[in-house]
């Protein structure tokens, strides 16, 4: 059994750690609030844009374009150069958050022949570097505090690579926050845009909750003007869409990260509290035992002394007799 | 005057949603105006300013970054990264951004970096023009 001083030291160090976890809890809850606000603010833009691109594609299903998956070159080439954007956190201490994203990314990357990784966040970068994945070292973006500017720069880079045909397909792995208790790692294809995917979505939507009026599908063939030209509008729309998507992914990820961290820190604080409770009981017991022992020793000593005295006195009286 | 429903959506908020009499926006080849019962159209918006008049006769101005507009069924949706009223613009920030963009453009850059810098230059200039024109500060 440890002695009292050791336990006291332990209690002190746990208390210090608890201070840190508590502070981190407060910080992440604040950041979470901000991230959630951002997420809500951007939702109309994000989903509205998605709807727009859907309706354009729905009206022009036969359009062939650099950004669509029905390119001639796609049918020709067998090996695709795949780019993966992985959104992780900048630091750990967020429960399984980073682990989950990395696991999903590794799983997706497994069957790619020619791959390039673009990792946001220090934790993921470190992992993929140490495991020897082909990581783009100049792709340095922090996951903390997402901004539209960062999303724009990332988009510009990725679309540029795509246009120069250094990448044929671009995927993204990020974490979506479903509610405050649940996150989900999401894997999505960014480029080329899947035409039939969009159209399917449109069908489901119009059949369902009434985002579209009844008979929307019948109107799908209605002619409408795209000014100045479909090509030009698409060019712009794709940038907008991918930037919007990137921004949405960054915001979702950062909200999930802070949420995970908050939960992890809450758990750590709780653990520390229960440990402290146990240790303080142990400490009290040991202290009590030490006191008892001391008292017994004192009493024993006193008794022995008294006995000795008695013996002496007895011996003395016997001598006098 | 007839009205149509206008929705201006920026990436961080819904800037305006409601009835509108006329909307003027910068297209790539000049300004375009949308009025009630316009034919269905999808088009791009350039960096610049949009004007719209609400039924109470008030003219509104917003400085916008690039985006897209869709008109359908007497309803116009405008999607832009940012939409600000002239009085909301931070002049110092815009000036700093302008300087930064100019600096970057002077340096040797890849095509990609050039695109990013010239886009930020255009945004900063649009913001500053908005401030000057409406003489807010």
Q: Which residues of A touch B10 (CB under 8 A)?
A: 45
Q: Check whether residue B79 and residue B95 sit in a common domain.
A: no
Q: Check whether residue B97 and residue B126 sit in a common domain.
A: yes
Assign B7 a pLDDT band (cuts: 50, 70, 90).
very high
| Domain final position from A265, A281, A299 | A265
- Residue-wise over A100-125: b if at least 16 C-beta within 10 A, else e? bbbebbeebbeebeebbbbbbbbbbb
A30 vs A46, more confident: A30
| Residue (of B68, B82, B72, B76) closest to B15 by Cα position | B82
Q: Check whether residue A152 and residue A276 sit in a common domain.
A: no
CATH of the domain at A39: 3.40.1380.10
- Whether the predicted pLDDT of B88 surpasses 90: no
Q: Check whether residue A289 and residue A150 sit in a common domain.
A: no
Q: Phi first, then psi: what are they for A91, rounded to 5°? A: -145, 165
CATH of the domain at B121: 1.20.5
User: For residues A243 and A127, what is the distance between their CA atoms, to the nearest angstrom?
Assistant: 26
Nearest CB among B13, B77, B116 relative to A153 is that of B116
What pLDDT is recorded for position A203?
Answer: 62
| Domain final position from B59, B84, B109 | B84
Q: Check whether residue B48 and residue B114 sit in a common domain.
A: no
What pLDDT is recorded for position A318?
Answer: 87
Q: Check whether residue B73 and residue B127 sit in a common domain.
A: no
Say which range, A291-305, B39-53, B85-99, has the weakest mean pLDDT. Answer: B85-99
Mean pLDDT over residues A14-18, rounded?
94
Q: Check whether residue B61 and residue B95 sit in a common domain.
A: no
- The first and second tokens of residue B107, run together, are 């340096």
Q: Check whether residue A189 and residue A308 sit in a common domain.
A: no
What pLDDT is recorded for position A5?
Answer: 87
A163 lies within 8 A of chain B by CB: no
What pLDDT is recorded for position A320?
Answer: 84
Cβ-proximal residues to A248 (8 Å cutoff; 6+ apart), any chain: A42, A46
B59 lies within 8 A of chain A by CB: no
Mean pLDDT over residues A16-39, rounded?
91
Q: Check whether residue A218 and residue A316 sit in a common domain.
A: no
Q: Check whether residue A87 and residue A199 sit in a common domain.
A: yes
Q: Check whether residue A193 and residue A55 sit in a common domain.
A: yes
What pLDDT is recorded for position A213?
Answer: 46
Mean pLDDT over residues A101-109, rounded?
90
A7 vs A69, more confident: A7
Structural domain tally of chain A? Answer: 2
The distance of Cα B8 from the centroid of its chain, to the nearest Å, equals 10
What pLDDT is recorded for position A197?
Answer: 60
CATH of the domain at B48: 2.60.15.10
Q: Round the average pLDDT of chain A to a whole number and report it.
A: 83
pLDDT in tens, B52-81: 999 998 999 999 988 888 888 899 999 988
Q: Which residues of A touch B43 (CB under 8 A)?
A: 226-228, 233
**Cα of A129 to nearest chain B Cα, Å:** 26
Q: Check whether residue A288 and residue A245 sit in a common domain.
A: no
- Whether the predicted pLDDT of B34 surpasses 80: yes
The distance of Cα A63 from the centroid of its chain, to the nearest Å, equals 38
A206 lies within 8 A of chain B by CB: no
* CA A130-A131-A136 angle, 5° bins: 75
Residue A18's CB is within 10 A of a number of other CB atoms, namely: 18
| Domain final position from B64, B84, B104 | B84
**Radius of gyration in angstroms for the set of CA atoms belonging to chain A, rounded to a whole number:** 34
Range of the domain at B30: 4-84
A166 lies within 8 A of chain B by CB: no
What pLDDT is recorded for position A301?
Answer: 92
| The 3-state secondary structure of chain A, one letter per residue | CCCHHHHHHHHHHHHHHHHHHHHHHHHHHHHHHHHHHHHHHHHHHHHHHHHHHHHHHHHCCCCCCCCECCCHHHHHCCCCEEEEEEECCCCCCECEHHHHHHHHHHHHHCCCCEEEEEEECHHHHHHHHHCCCCECCCCCCCCCCCCHHHHHHHHHHHHHHHHCCCCCEEEEEEEEEEECCEEEEEEEEEECECHHHHHHHHHHHHHCCCCCCCCCCHHHHCCCEEECCHHHHHHHHHHHHHHHHHHHHHHHHHHHHHHHHHHHHHHHHHHHHHHHHHHHHHHHHHHHHHHHHHHHHHHHHHHHHHHHHHHHHHHHHHHHC
Q: Check whether residue B77 and residue B95 sit in a common domain.
A: no
Range of the domain at A45: 20-265
pLDDT in tens, A149-206: 888 888 888 888 888 888 888 899 999 888 878 888 988 888 787 766 666 665 666 5
User: For residues A190 and A103, what is the distance between their CA atoms, to the nearest angstrom?
Assistant: 20
Q: Check whether residue B10 and residue B77 sit in a common domain.
A: yes
Q: Check whether residue A194 and residue A260 sit in a common domain.
A: yes
What pLDDT is recorded for position A59?
Answer: 66
Strand partners, A169: A82
A156 lies within 8 A of chain B by CB: yes
A103 vs A147, more confident: A103
Assign B6 a pLDDT band (cuts: 50, 70, 90).
very high
Q: Check whether residue B99 and residue B80 sit in a common domain.
A: no
Q: Check whether residue B73 and residue B92 sit in a common domain.
A: no
- Whether the predicted pLDDT of B5 surpasses 70: yes
Q: Check whether residue B63 and residue B118 sit in a common domain.
A: no
Q: What percent of chain B has pLDDT over 90?
A: 26
Q: Check whether residue B105 and residue B80 sit in a common domain.
A: no
B125 lies within 8 A of chain A by CB: no
Helix H or strand E encompassing B14: strand B13-20
Nearest CB among A38, A227, A244 relative to B43 is that of A227
Q: Check whether residue A138 and residue A249 sit in a common domain.
A: yes
A225 lies within 8 A of chain B by CB: yes
What pLDDT is recorded for position A72?
Answer: 64
Say which range, A1-15, A62-76, B4-18, B72-86, has the weakest mean pLDDT. Answer: A62-76
| Domain final position from A221, A238, A265 | A265
Q: Check whether residue B8 and residue B73 sit in a common domain.
A: yes
A278 vs A55, more confident: A278
Helix H or strand E encompassing B70: strand B67-72
Mean pLDDT over residues A212-217, rounded?
48
User: For residues A45 and A248, what is the distance between their CA atoms, to the nearest angstrom?
Assistant: 10
Structural domain tally of chain B? Answer: 2
* Sign for the pseudo-dihedral over CA of A244, A245, A248, A254: negative
Nearest CB among A44, A52, A228 relative to B68 is that of A52
SS3 B80: strand
Identify the top-confidence range among A17-26, A210-219, B90-99. A17-26
- Whether the predicted pLDDT of A214 surpasses 50: no
- Whether the predicted pLDDT of A217 surpasses 60: no
The distance of Cα A142 from the centroid of its chain, to the nearest Å, equals 13
Say which range, A71-85, A101-115, A195-209, A282-296, has the weakest mean pLDDT. Answer: A195-209
| Residue (of A218, A212, A238, A276) closest to A59 by Cα position | A218
Say which range, A47-56, A215-224, A280-289, has the weakest mean pLDDT. Answer: A215-224
What pLDDT is recorded for position A30?
Answer: 92
Assign A209 a pLDDT band (cuts: 50, 70, 90).
very low
Q: Check whether residue A257 and residue A298 sit in a common domain.
A: no
What pLDDT is recorded for position A273?
Answer: 94
Q: Check whether residue A296 and residue A207 sit in a common domain.
A: no
pLDDT in tens, A246-289: 888 898 899 999 999 999 999 999 999 999 999 999 999 999 99
Question: Across the interface, do A243 and B81 touch by the CB < 8 Å criterion?
Answer: yes
Q: Phi first, then psi: what are they for A26, rounded to 5°? A: -60, -45
Q: Check whether residue A194 and residue A314 sit in a common domain.
A: no
């Amino acid at each position: 059994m440890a002695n009292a001083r050791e336990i006291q030291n332990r209690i002190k160090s746990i208390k210090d750690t608890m201070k840190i976890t508590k502070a981190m809890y407060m910080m992440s809850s604040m950041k979470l609030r901000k991230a959630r606000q951002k997420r809500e603010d951007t939702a109309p833009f994000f989903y509205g844009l998605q709807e727009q691109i859907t309706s354009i594609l729905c009206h022009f299903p036969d359009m062939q374009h650099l950004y669509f998956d029905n390119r001639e070159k796609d049918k020709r080439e067998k090996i695709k150069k795949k780019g993966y954007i992985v959104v992780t956190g900048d630091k750990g201490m967020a429960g399984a958050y980073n682990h989950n994203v990395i696991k999903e990314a590794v799983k997706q990357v497994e069957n790619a022949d020619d791959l390039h990784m673009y990792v946001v966040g220090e934790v993921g970068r470190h992992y993929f570097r140490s495991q020897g994945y082909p990581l783009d070292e100049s792709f340095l973006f922090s996951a903390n505090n997402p901004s539209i500017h960062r999303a724009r720069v990332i988009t510009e880079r990725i679309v540029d690579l795509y246009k120069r045909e250094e990448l044929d397909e671009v995927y993204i792995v990020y974490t979506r926050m479903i509610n405050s208790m649940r996150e989900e790692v999401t894997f999505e294809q960014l480029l080329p845009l899947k035409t039939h995917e969009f159209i399917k979505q449109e069908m489901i939507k119009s059949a369902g909750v009434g985002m579209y009026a009844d008979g929307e599908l019948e109107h799908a063939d209605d002619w409408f003007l795209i000014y100045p030209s479909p090509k030009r509008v698409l060019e712009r729309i794709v940038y907008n869409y991918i930037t919007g998507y990137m921004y949405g992914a960054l915001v979702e990820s950062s909200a999930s990260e802070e949420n995970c961290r908050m939960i992890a820190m809450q758990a750590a604080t709780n653990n520390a509290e229960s440990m402290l409770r146990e240790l303080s009981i142990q400490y009290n017991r040991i202290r009590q035992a030490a006191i008892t022992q001391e008292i017994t020793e004192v009493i024993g000593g006193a008794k022995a002394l008294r006995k000795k005295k008695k013996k002496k006195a007895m011996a003395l009286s016997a001598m006098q007799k | 005057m007839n009205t149509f429903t206008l929705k201006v959506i920026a990436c961080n908020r819904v800037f305006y949603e409601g009835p509108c009499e006329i909307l003027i926006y910068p297209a790539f080849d000049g300004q375009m105006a949308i009025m009630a019962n316009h034919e269905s159209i999808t088009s791009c918006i350039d960096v610049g300013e949009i004007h719209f008049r609400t039924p109470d006769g008030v003219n509104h101005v917003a400085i916008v970054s690039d985006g897209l507009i869709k008109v359908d069924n007497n309803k116009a949706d405008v999607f832009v990264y940012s939409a600000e009223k002239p009085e909301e613009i931070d002049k110092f920030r815009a000036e700093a951004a302008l300087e930064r963009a100019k600096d970057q453009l002077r340096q040797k850059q890849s095509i990609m970096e050039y695109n990013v810098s010239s886009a930020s230059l255009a945004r900063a200039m649009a913001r500053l023009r908005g401030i000057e024109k409406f003489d807010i500060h």
